[in-house]
Structure 1
Amino acid sequence: MERMISGMLDNYERGNLGRRQLVQGLAALMLAAAPARAESTFKGVGLNHIALRVTGIRRSREFHQKHLGFPLISESETSCFLRAGEEFLALSRNERPGLDHYCIAIENFKPDAVMAELNRQGLRPRRTSGTDRIYFHDVDGLEVQLSAVDHRA
């Protein structure tokens, strides 16, 4: 490519190429050399929810309500859902606290097609029986869920 650029500049300096032709030639060369932008597998349009494993539902709910102002959507002995703007925070009781998964809303969510594409990409997804919940792991082993834009707690 360096040789091509040098050739264009030489032709410009000799008067064989006009300024406009030089600029157009350099621009075309740069566009041709740029790597093609890879299309993403899906179009993520936002975070739908985050699910956390917590040692105590009530204690965690109270913390998030007191310090973050998240209103309660629903609660049981083993789980709790809190509103976080348009999204939600899911808490589930577990002796090993941490991130359970994060959920990304995608455009045109069609569960069967999503499963097929994730499998085609080698991501080994799993679908919760009888639901549209689809999970797979990211490159660090964190669990990702994909959902429709309108998926709610």
Structure 2
Amino acid sequence: MANPLHQGLRHLALRVTDLPKSRRFYEQLLGMNVVWEPDPDNVYFSSGSDNLALHQIAPHELPSYRPPGSQLLDHVGVILETPQAVDRMYRTVSPAIEELGGRIVKPPKQHRDGSYSFYFSDPDGNVIQALYEPTISKLEWK
């Protein structure tokens, strides 16, 4: 069902502690493409129907940067077409995740609502869910 107020939640901005490391992670692991790099402290990616911004925490803020003991944002997700695509992505990215500064948080699992996913984190501990969801995985994206 279309929302008359907006076209969906398709932009996410994350503050990062090491922009080059985070950039490699999102480019190499998730295949995100740079669409704009206005300066050395900011980079914007897209996979076609979304926008991810990474913003370097300023050097003078880094010493006092103390994220909470646990992440307030539970997780973000990337949508996959099928449960088999989730398994394929898990097999493909698992060997590279730690090398790029992330980690596997939870292996693939079938959920009660019919969805299927696994969770991994980026270099700053932001959790990403690779998700097949029966309703939205079937949608056509502009």
Bucket of the pairwise TM-score, normalised by the shorter protein: 0.3 to 0.5
Structure of larger gyration radius: 1
Give the structure with the higher percent helix. 1
- Scaled by the length of structure 1, the TM-score of the pair is 0.34
- Scaled by the length of structure 2, the TM-score of the pair is 0.36
